[in-house]
Amino acid sequence: MEGYLQKQGFVFSSRRYFVLTNTGLLCYANKEDRSEVRDSFPLAPDTQVVEIKIKDKLKLRLKNEGLTWTLSADEDDEAEGRRWADALATAVARLASLSKGHPPGGHGEGTRELAHNPARKVVVIEGTEFVIDPRYEVTRRLGNGAYGVVVAAKDTVTGKAVAIKKCFNIFQSLSDAKKIAREVRLLRQMNHPNITRITTVIPPLSATFDEVYIVSELMDIDMHNLMYLSREKITPDHVQFFIYQVLCGIKYMHALNIIHRDLKPSNLLINANCDLKICDFGLARGIQSNGPAQDKECDLTAADAAAPEKPKDLLSEYVVTRWYRAPEILLNPRNYSKPVDIWAVGTIFGELLARKPMFPAHNYDHLVRLQTRTLGSPSEENLKWVTREKARTFMRSLPQYPRRDFKSLYPEASGPALDLLEKILQWDPAKRPTAAEALSHPYFDDIRDADFEQESDMIIDWGDLETMRTTKVNLQRYLIQDMVSMNPESSALLKMVAHESTGKAAGAT
């Protein structure tokens, strides 16, 4: 089911286009442009779908642990609202049935071979089918979102524990498929101890596949869950080592002219030895040396923050989860570069020191106000980098605040830690240290390791990802190139996708 709904925000409601999938609700800016998913709500067997009346108008409240959405039918059409309620309830009931071992087709929890291909087996775990190589023994489900499910498994050939992510219906949104293709191509080539590695992408049985299985190193927990859900105590030594490793990974990727654009605690994976790896490179971009990334303009007024944005651009402004977003992405979105990653490290650093987010903003306007209250109002000198007069005018209109004393904000932090944090969280991107400069700070003097601070002069081979027509067949071809590179025995897939591409072209003439 799909259609327009009103989504209640912190203050305003926004009209968005929604698509209900088997495992989630996808939110787009509008029906015509589905190039990028604006938001998503993962459905689970215990998701609550509640109908409520507010001022005699029907509202739907979706609730998972830690996530609540309130929706209403477009123009308060109660009949349409009830159709959505029924569809959502049916989707949740289906997931609940699957979780009890009753997936479609009558197969319960367990494993079976595919009758037509003994080189693959089907594993059903909590209602989700994984069609994988028999070498992998799935042990447990790790998590899920609107786009995929992740399980832990044992590779019986190497004896190592791995994570397998199933990305399903990936071509429902070509922009999402492109993110997967970009991440696979990038992680296949990068090699650094603080960046997650893809072990392989399991080749599909057909060139017309619509799901992808990505196998990677298994880590124990992400930083967000470590901070807020784990009982483990995070000591100052932990904070120092975590931030050191993040900066080492960033130094490596920045030397390759890659900006991550989505650094946040949930994208930092940690194991029991406190080893840290940066993950989720779907929004990463290659840039020309130290040149800027280019993005569309965004206008920071309260009205604009509540109005529907138009996400057609070269680099979307929704690049970093809002709380970790650098000022230049909002104020100068046509001209940002590597310092956006450094800013994100600063916000993560502050969060580790205080065990709470630095800038938990409700919208873009609120974000800049929170940044101003902590960092102080920027001087004209510190706003020279803002080239858009409207953004400069907006900043001048804000109340004037002095810079907060970081020692009062983080009383238990050491002097070197506070000094580094002060140096990182600068309004002017040019005044922030590079990753290499940050690593040279005295805060890290007693833990530096040359093996972690390695760089590479490799040039990332992006192929024709950014120049080809973004079609399903082209993206299948692109992904298969990487699959075959990691699994040479599957080279026949290249001929299959070439044949499929030729057939599509012939059908179009």
Spatial neighbors of 258 by CB under 8 A, at least 6 apart, are: 186, 190, 281, 284, 285, 286, 287, 460
Q: Answer positive or negative: Cα dihedral of 302, 306, 308, 313.
A: positive
User: Cβ(311)–Cβ(29) under 8 Å?
Assistant: yes
C-alpha 496 chain-centroid distance: 31
CA distances in angstroms from 201 to 166, 465, 473, 482, listed in the order given: 10, 18, 18, 8
> Left if phi > 0, otherwise alpha if psi is -120 to 50, otherwise beta: which for 126?
left
464 is catalytic: no
DSSP-derived secondary structure letter, 92: H
Phi, psi at 119, each rounded to 5°: -80, 0
Nearest one of 175, 173, 149, 172 to 43, comparing CA atoms: 149
Alpha-carbon distance of 52 to 59, in angstroms, equals 5
Tokens of 141: 């489900």
- Name 65's Cβ contacts closer than 8 Å, sequence gap at least 6: none
Neighbour-count burial of 245, counting CB atoms closer than 10 A to its CB (0-12 exposed, 13-18 middle, 19+ buried) = buried
Among 155, 222, 262, 280, which one carries the catalytic annotation? Answer: 262
Establish whether 55 is an annotated binding residue: no
Residue numbering of the annotated binding site for ATP? 166
Residue numbering of the annotated binding site? 166
Catalytically annotated residues: 262
